[in-house]
Amino acid sequence: MNRTTVLKFGGSSVSSVNKIKEISKYLKERSEKGEKLVVVVSAMGATTDELLKKVSEITDNPNPRELDTLLSIGEQNTISLMSIALNDLGVKSRSLTGMQAGIKTFGKHTKSKIAGIDVDFISKELEKYDVLVVAGFQGFNENFEITTLGRGGSDTSAVALAATIGAPCEIYTDVIGVYGTDPRIYPEAKKINRISYEEMLELSALGAGVLEPRCVEIAKNYNVAIYIAKTLSETKGTWIMANTDLLEKKVVTGVALDKDILHVTLTYVDDSSNFVEELFNQLDQYSINIDMISQVVFENSINISFTCKVDDKNDLNEVIDNLEKAFNGVKHSIRTDFAKISIVGSGMRDVSGVAARSFRVLSSNGIKFYQVTTSEISISYAIDGDNSTKAVTLLCKEFDI
C-alpha cells in the first residue's frame, strides 16, 4: 500500500464551503503524489456552539444520549461536503461517520473514550479510495448508540486512527504551531519547534488548550508522531515526539492557563467514615476528571479541595447531592472565580530553584495562590482569576517563554 497519512482539520479551518474547497485542492495534490489520506474533520466553525445554544433554550440539563445524537450532526455535515468537493475534483473519496469507520467507544455519553477501531475495514476502504473523510469527535457504544468524545474529541479521533493504521498524524488549525503560552494573552510568546510527549501532555492536561490530553497520551503510548501547523500555510509548525528525540531540554517549556475551572471544597465531620472513598467512587462513576487535590484532617473532620472543569458542573452537583444524602453534615463550597496557572518543563528534573523563582515572582507582585500542586515536570497554582493575565506575563518573562 502507498504511504498513508492521517490529517485533521479543525472547525475554524472548515468554517466555510470555500475553505473546504481549498483544503480539497490541497488534498488532491497530495493524493496525486501517491499518498493515501485519512482526513478527520470537525464541525464547521461555530456549529457545535450553535447546536448547544438551541439546547439551552430548552433545558440546562439535557439528556446526554440525545445530546450526543444532536451534536454528531455537525461533523457529518463537514464530511459530506468535503467528500463531495473531493469527488468533484476527480479524487476517489468516501465520507464515513464515526460508526461507519468502526470507532467503538465506552463510558458515559458526551465524554466517551475510544475502545478500538476496525483496522481491517479502514485498510480495505483505503484500497478502494484515495481519501477517506472521517467524522471526528464521535463513535458508537456497545448498544450501537451514537457517542461523542468530549472536548477536543476530533484530535483524539485522528491520533487514534493514526495509531490503529500505523501512520503519522498531522493536525491543522488556525495557529502556526505550539507556543510557550497562549499568544493572545502574551503576544511575545515564542513558537516551539519540537516538544516532548510528556511536556505536551502536561500542558494539555493543565489547560493549554492546544490538544486534548487523551490525544497526546495515545500518541505517546503508540509512538505516533504528531505535527501541528496552520492550515494551508508554508510556515513550519511543531513536532511532538519522544523525549529521547529532543536534543535540548528547556527548564521551563511553557506556561498553561485554565480559567474554566471550579474550585470545590468539601468538609465532613467524621474522619473515621468511608466518606473519602465514596467521594472518589462517585467522581469516577460520573467520569469527572479532577486536579489539584489536597486533604487536611483536623481532630475529627476532613477537608478536601480539588479543581475540575466547568463543563462537569451538572455531574458535580449530582455527586454532591448523593454525598449529602449518604453522609449527614457534609458542607461544600464551589468557587468559579479562580484560575489555574502552571509552568511545565522536562528540565525541572535536573535544575533546582524553579519553584523558588516562581513563588517569588508571584508573591513579589501581590498575586495570592490558594493551592499548589506539583509533578516531576510541572508546578500549578490556584489564583484569583482577575490576576491570570498578569501572572502569565510575569512567569513568561521570568522563564523566557
Blockwise average pLDDT, block size 10, the chain, 401 residues? 90 96 98 96 93 94 95 96 98 97 95 94 96 97 95 92 96 92 92 91 82 91 95 94 67 92 90 84 91 84 90 93 91 93 87 89 93 90 94 95 92
Q: What distance in Å separates the CA atoms of residue 222 and residue 227, rounded to the nearest whole number?
A: 15
> What pLDDT sits at residue 126?
96
Domains of the chain: 4-174 (3.40.1160.10)
Q: pTM value?
A: 0.82
Q: What distance in Å separates the CA atoms of residue 77 and residue 16, rounded to the nearest whole number?
A: 11
> What pLDDT sits at residue 248?
60
Q: What distance in Å separates the CA atoms of residue 48 and residue 214, rounded to the nearest whole number?
A: 20
Place of cell 505516533: 224
Nine-digit cell string for 123: 485498510
Q: Are the CB atoms for 198 and 207 separated by under 8 Å?
A: no
Query: H helices within 72-209, ranges in order?
Result: 73-88, 119-128, 153-165, 197-205
> What pLDDT sits at residue 250?
78
> What pLDDT sits at residue 244?
61
Strand, helix or coil at 139? strand
> What pLDDT sits at residue 209?
74
What's the angle, vertex CA 6, arms to CA 248 and CA 66, rounded to 5? 115
